[in-house]
Amino acid sequence: MARVAFHTLGCKVNQCESQKMAESFLDRGFDVVEFAERADVYIINSCTVTSTADSKSRHAARNARHRNPEALVVLAGCYAEVSPDAAGQVEGVSMVLGNRAKDDIAALVVDRLSPELISTLKPGRSESTRKVRTRATLKIQDGCDQFCSYCVVPFARPVVCSRPSAEVRSELADLAARGFKEVVLAGIRLGRYLDEDGTGLTDIVRMAAEAPGIERVRLSSIELTDVPDGLIAFMAENRRVCRHLHIPLQSGDAGVLDRMNRPYTPEQFMAFVEGARGSIPGIAITTDIMVGFPGETDEEFESSRSFVEGIRFSRAHIFRYSARPGTAASKLTDDVSAAEKERRSKTLIRLAERYADEFACGTIGTVAPVLVEGKHLDGGILGGLTDNYVRVEFEAEDRLIGEIVDVRIDAVCQGRVTGTIAQGGA
Question: What pLDDT, on the 0 to 100 scale, is given for residue 374?
Answer: 78
Q: What's the fold here for domain 367-421?
A: OB fold (Dihydrolipoamide Acetyltransferase, E2P) (2.40.50)
Pairing of strands 95-97, 72-77: parallel
Which letter does DSSP use for residue 30 in this model? P
DSSP SS3 for 132? coil
DSSP letter (8 states) at residue 102 = G
Global confidence as pTM: 0.92
Q: Which pLDDT does position 398 carry in this prediction?
A: 87
Class of domain 132-361: alpha beta
User: At a CB cut-off of 8 Å and minimum separation 6, what does 162 contact?
Assistant: 140, 141, 187, 192, 193, 194, 195
Cα–Cα distance measured from residue 60 to residue 73, given in angstroms and rounded to the nearest whole number = 10
The fold of the 3-121 domain, in CATH, is Rossmann fold (3.40.50)
* Per-residue pLDDT tens digits for 173-226: 999 999 999 999 999 999 999 999 999 999 999 999 999 999 999 999 999 999
Q: Write down the pLDDT at residue 199.
A: 97
Half-sphere exposure in the Cβ direction for 27 (13 Å, CA): 10
Please state the length of the chain. 426
Tell me, what amino acid is at 92? G
Give which of 172, 149, 147 is closest to 160, Cα–Cα: 147
Enumerate the domain spans of the chain. 3-121, 132-361, 367-421
Asked if domains 132-361 and 367-421 share a fold, the reply is: no
Single-letter code of the amino acid located at 303: S
Q: Is 124 a residue whose pLDDT tops 90?
A: no
**Residue 129: pLDDT above 50?**
no
Q: Do 304 and 253 form a contact (C-beta atoms < 8 A)?
A: yes
Strands 3-8 and 41-46: parallel
Q: What is the pLDDT of residue 1?
A: 86
State the average pLDDT for the chain: 94
